[in-house]
A = this chain, B = another copy of it.
Amino acid sequence: MRARVHVTLKPGVLDPQGEAVRHALGSLGFEGVGEVRMGKVIELDLAEGDPGAARDRVTEMCEKLLANTIIENYTVDVA
């Protein structure tokens, strides 16, 4: 079973990396680029065969390790 986790900064949390990308795109001549936000994708191979159980497991991983829930949101997709 494969899980994909998206970890993104919460709205309002400053994103210097995204800001740097926005400036770099401007320098390269790309116009009309507004806000840029950077996040992480984490793809996991799981031995767990049940989608519901896998989702619960990965949610627990997010809470404990994969995301900093003070400043980050996460979403879990299981396939």
Residues of A participating in the B interface, judged by any CB pair closer than 8 Å: 6, 8, 18, 21, 24-25, 28, 30-48, 57, 60-61, 64-66
Q: Is the CB of B8 within 8 A of A65?
A: no
Given A30-B61, A41-B41, 13 additional A-B pairs, CB 8 A? A24-B65, A28-B61, A28-B65, A32-B48, A33-B45, A34-B44, A35-B45, A36-B43, A37-B42, A38-B42, A39-B40, A39-B42, A40-B40
CB of A33, distance to nearest CB on chain B (Å): 6
A46 surroundings in chain B (CB, below 8 A): 32-34
A25-B65, A65-B28, A66-B21 as given contacts; A34 in contact with B39, CB under 8 Å: no
List of 6 A-B pairs having minimum Cβ-Cβ separation, nearest first: A32-B47, A34-B45, A39-B41, A37-B43, A35-B45, A36-B44
